Amino acid sequence: MEFKSLKNIETSFRQIRFFGIVFVILCAGITGYSIFSALQFAEKQRQKIYVLDKGKSLILALSQDLSQNRPVEAREHIRRFHELFFTLSPDKNAIESNINRAMFLAGKSAYNYYKDLVEKGYFNRIISGNVNQTLLVDSVVVDFRNYPYRASTYARQVIIRESNITERSLVTSCKLINSVRSDNNPHGFAIENFTVKENKDIQTINR
């Protein structure tokens, strides 16, 4: 009878030990999962930006990896420079305003090209001839494999005169370097080695 009682005690002890081990494993699993979930939640929270709009409303904006947006920003930077630089109206103040804004996006090479146009009387002819010029960018190709980044721009100029409308092709090349972001340069790039490779008439339509 004593032997049977001892056997029952031993069996009960084994069962208690087994359930104890299972309980510890479950607790460890729950703890590990909780820590993992907390770390994931914290990482997601770091990827969020909260913007307080004049102290009234809270706007949630998801931040993105800057490297993912750089190609888009590079193309937009070049597109914006070309639109500012080559979109002209017969107004001296408007021309100077556009050129000044364009110069924030580029370096000395673009300024030298502008000075060359000034010396040739290009802008004076725009004003005296009452000419309106707009630029339509067809495509911007940027090579991000090497730094500084090489870029080519393919665009069309539409030159509107009193007597006719001329369409010209414009092909330029440049290099992009990283720069400081600012209100005048929101994309954080600067254009170097700006060169006009092609600028020729495509067609002229009489008005």
Q: What digits encode the pLDDT tens for the residues 154-167? A: 999 999 998 899 99
Q: What is the arithmetic mean of pLDDT over 169-193?
A: 93
Q: What is the arithmetic mean of pLDDT over 179-205?
A: 92
Whether 152 contacts 78, CB under 8 Å: no
Q: Which two tokens stand for residue 166?
A: 């001329």
Quote the pLDDT of residue 7: 52
Q: Would you place residue 24 in the very low, low, confident or very high pLDDT band (cuts 50, 70, 90)?
A: confident
Quote the pLDDT of residue 154: 97
| 83: alpha, beta or left? (left if phi > 0; alpha if psi -120 to 50) | alpha
Q: What digits encode the pLDDT tens for the residues 73-128? A: 999 999 999 999 999 999 999 999 999 999 999 999 999 999 999 999 999 999 99
Distance of CA 38 to the CA centre of its chain: 32
Q: Domain ranges in the chain?
A: 2-61, 66-206
Quote the pLDDT of residue 26: 86
pLDDT at 33 over 60: yes
Quote the pLDDT of residue 165: 93
pLDDT at 44 over 90: no
Distance of CA 145 to the CA centre of its chain: 17
Q: Which two tokens stand for residue 146?
A: 């090497």
The CATH number that domain 66-206 falls under is 3.10.450.230
**Of residues 199 and 10, more confidently modeled:** 199
